[in-house]
Amino acid sequence: MGDRPTNTRWPSLRLTRRQLALFGTGLLLATCRRNEPVPTPTTLPAVTPTPSTRPTPVPTAVLTPTPRLTPTPRATSTPPSARIFVRLQLNEPRSHDFNADPACGGEPELFAGLVRLTPDYDVRPDWAERWDISADGTRWVFTLRRMSAGWSNGDPVRASDFVWSWQRMLDPAQPAPQAEFLDVVGNARAVRQGLLPPEALAVHALDDWTLEVELERPAGYFLWILGTPRFLPAHRPSVERWGNSWTEAGRCVSNGPFWLISWERGSGYVLSPNPYYWNRSALALDSCMVMVAQPNEPLLPFFQGRVDFAAVPQEFLPEVTSDESLLERLQRSILPETWFLVVQPDVPPLDQVEFRRTLSRAIDRERLRQLLYGAVEPAVTLVPPGVPGFVQDASLQEMHRFAPLEAWQRWGPLREREAPVLRFTAPPSSSPVEEAVLQDVVAQLAANLGVGVELERLEGQAWMRAVNDGTFQLLWWRWPLPFPDGAALYEWLFSRERKALQGLRWSSDELERFFALARGETELSRRLGAYRQCEFVIQGDSVVIPVVHPTASFLVQPWVVSLPRARDGMLVGPGALFSRFLSNVVVRQHSS
């Protein structure tokens, strides 16, 4: 079954602009639609496929949850100290070993790398107090802080700690998932493939406080890779003594702002400031407790006042957004991720750019945001807001303006000659929210273009073959950025040396010139100028259609004074790219 595609054929349907089809439940939610005239094709059935071709239903928990919210949040029982912060997260960590597993779900502030990232994803010094770059951009020399202690057991943080940690990531017997991001470093690929010994990696400790890194080619975004949790170091003596369990409480030796006091599986863990961290005095917290939400009542500790900051499960958003007292405490963070359509530009009728452009005009992104109670935000750019490389331009807003009548009319001549069918290829969804977005986009394309849409679901090797061989017409693609820089999307997906979407039969000489310019540019403002041009080149040919950016939602108690925010005021929550959430938290004293 894993490699067998399943096809769902959507008839040519028309969705009224006041109707929100809730897949799997049949529930309709009223919503305001814009005043643009709606085409009037032949009346067809509502958005419900025949039983033999029914798409996978969206779990009802997302769209019609059973009411569970009982108490109204009250400012009581958080510990009286103004410097204790209690955070509720949804999942139990597998470990805190980011060096071996960046998706471990652990606490990144146990560790510190060469550099750190601000909430705006600006690079700042961490254990490296400065760095020098050669004129050709291929030799980087990091000067570490000369301190007698830095690890939580009193060991100093040395350049050799980073050499060993990077070699560990490249171990060919068990390479870390993020190991390929070191391929820009000299000999890294050959070490990872077992063709060269670890010592051949072009990373050298010139002395205890000086780290030299030689790159295969210029990479202006190199610091932004190093600033993510993927490149946090590991404490070699602890790893060699305890193996995979070295980050358990009582064993974990860390070099970040905090160290691990205790960890009770299924309940949570407690952190305290690391007295040897170089910037210990800047912390505004004396302690942090991270609780793991219980499946049956995940938000109960917040309602009881025992938690200051709580991640909201997506299935609870309808309840939270319908309660005014909760809505006042709800804050959102746009994730550094984009969900979009990839269009194979040599398959008729999408070999004509005019038809590709009208695909976007047929998608009501605001409808998707309302349908999912704010779990997604409309996207008109490939790089998400807040990430270096994000482009804010009125022409992109216009390019993706919802205009169903225009889309309907453009496809009219095709409908008169034949019954056009679009083949829409998608992998298994990562969440009920993604499934709801996917199904609604399929329905909107069918309705607003007046065409049939065949939804093809592929898994495993069948999915990879479709992506790599290009056997798709429309492809659903979700892309969480591996590091916060435009190169993580533009270059990783659209260069001739792309690491993904290898089956997309499209390239651009102009785009390659901008890639080369950005790679060699370490000055951020000039690199952003090149990225801006990348965005317009890619979108100008409409081979990619951005749809939404997913969001994370949090409930925040009123006594939380400060949280990490970008320049535009957007909350930057705990996540895969930002590792200094707790370091930016301030709480005030409140009554018990």
Domain presence at residue 75: no
Q: Which amino acid is at 19?
A: Q
User: What is the spatial distance between Cα 447 and Cα 443, in angstroms, rounded to a whole number?
Assistant: 6
User: Is 415 within a domain?
Assistant: yes
For the ranges 8-17, 276-285, 340-349, 567-576, which has the lowest average pLDDT? 8-17
Query: 451 and 526: one domain?
Result: yes
Give the DSSP H/E element, type plus range, for residue 19. Answer: strand 19-21
* Domain end among 181, 212, 243: 243
Listed residue (21, 70, 68) closest to 49, CA to CA: 21
Calculate mean pLDDT across residues 464-485.
96
Q: What's the confidence (pLDDT) of residue 23? A: 32
Confidence of residue 575 (pLDDT cuts 50, 70, 90): confident
As given in the structure block, the two tokens for residue 477 are 């693609």
The answer to which of 70-79, 278-287, 477-486, 552-561 has the lowest mean pLDDT is 70-79
Check pLDDT > 80 for residue 24. Answer: no
Q: Report whether pLDDT(255) > 90.
A: yes
pLDDT for 498 = 81
pLDDT in tens, 276-326: 999 999 999 999 999 999 988 999 999 999 999 999 999 999 999 999 999
Confidence of residue 591 (pLDDT cuts 50, 70, 90): low
Q: Which pLDDT does position 592 carry in this prediction?
A: 52
What's this model's pTM, rounded to 2 decimal places?
0.86
Pairing mode, strands 84-89 and 309-311: parallel
**Within this chain, do residues 316 and 349 fall inside the same structural domain, yes or no?**
no
Report whether 187 contacts 197 (CB < 8 A).
no
Q: What are phi and psi of 480, to 5 degrees?
A: -75, 125
Q: Where are the beta strands (DSSP E) in 111-156?
A: 115-117, 123-125, 128-133, 139-144
Task: For 462-505, list the strands marked E by DSSP.
Answer: 474-480
Q: What is the CA radius of gyration of the chain?
A: 25
* Residue 63 is assigned to a structural domain of this protein: no
* Backbone φ and ψ of 464, nearest 5°: -65, -35
Distance CA 177, CA 522 (A): 26
Q: Do 194 and 281 have their domain in common?
A: no
From 185, 214, 243, the end of a domain falls on 243
Q: What is the CATH number of the domain that holds 209?
A: 3.90.76.10
Does residue 267 share a domain with residue 233?
no
CA distance 342 to 220: 27
Dist CA 486 CA 534 (whole Å): 9
Instruction: Give 96's pLDDT tier (boundaries 50, 70, 90).
Output: very high
Here the tokens at position 185 are 């470093």
Residues 367 and 473 in one domain: yes
Q: How remote is the C-alpha of 300 from its chain's centroid?
A: 27
Q: Which helix (H) or strand (E) holds 204?
A: strand 203-207
Flag whether pLDDT at 29 surpasses 60. no
Could you give the percent of the chain with pLDDT greater than 90?
A: 81
Domain-located, residue 51: no
* Rounded Cα gap, residues 262 and 287, in angstroms: 12
DSSP 49-67: --GGGPPPPPPHHHHSPPP
Residue 349, preceding bond cis, omega within 30 degrees? yes
Query: How do residues 353-391 score in pLDDT, each as one tens digit?
Result: 999 999 999 999 999 999 999 999 999 999 999 999 999
Query: What is the spatial distance between Cα 131 and Cα 46, in angstroms, rounded to a whole number?
Result: 62
What integer is the mean pLDDT of 428-435? 92
Whether residue 373 sits in one domain with residue 463: yes
Q: Is the pLDDT of residue 67 over 70?
A: no
Q: Name residue 292's amino acid.
A: V
pLDDT classification of 35: cutoffs 50, 70, 90: very low
Is residue 48 assigned to a domain?
no
Same domain, 413 and 342: yes
Same domain membership, residue 413 and residue 498: yes
Can you give the CATH number for the domain in which 307 is found? 3.40.190.10
Distances (CA, A) of 466 to 33, 311, 573: 36, 36, 34
CA atoms of 184 and 463, how far apart (whole Å): 28
Residue 56 above 70 pLDDT? no
For residues 571 and 483, state if they share a domain. no
How many domains does one find in the chain?
Answer: 3
Lowest mean pLDDT across 223-227, 324-328, 395-399, 519-523: 519-523
Among candidate residues 184, 208, 243, the one where a domain is terminated: 243
Give the Cα separation of 183 and 491 in Å (integer).
14
The reported pLDDT for the residue numbered 589 is: 78
For residues 208 and 255, membership in a common domain is answered with no
- The verdict on 301 and 446 lying in the same domain is no
Low-confidence winner among 4-8, 151-155, 209-213 (lowest mean pLDDT) = 4-8
pLDDT at 79 over 80: no
Read off the pLDDT of each residue in 196-201 and give the average, rounded to a whole number: 97
Sign of torsion over alpha carbons 464, 467, 470, 474? positive
Q: Sign of dihedral through CA atoms 371, 375, 380, 382? A: negative
Does residue 107 lie in a domain region? Answer: no
The rounded distance, in Å, linking the Cα atoms of 525 and 512 is 19
CATH code, 441: 3.10.105.10
Distance CA 67, CA 86 (A): 26
Contact 98, 364 (CB under 8 A): no
The length of the chain is 592
In a domain, 53, yes or no: no
What whole-number distance in Å separates Cα of residue 359 and Cα of residue 179? 37
Q: Are 187 and 230 within one domain?
A: yes
Residue 265 lies in a domain: yes
Residue-number span of the structural domain to which 498 is assigned: 6-25+336-550
Beta strands in 72-202 (DSSP E): 84-89, 115-117, 123-125, 128-133, 139-144
With left for phi above 0 and alpha for psi between -120 and 50, is residue 224 left, alpha or beta? alpha
- pLDDT value for 389: 94
Looking at the chain, the whole-number percentage of residues with pLDDT higher than 70 is 86
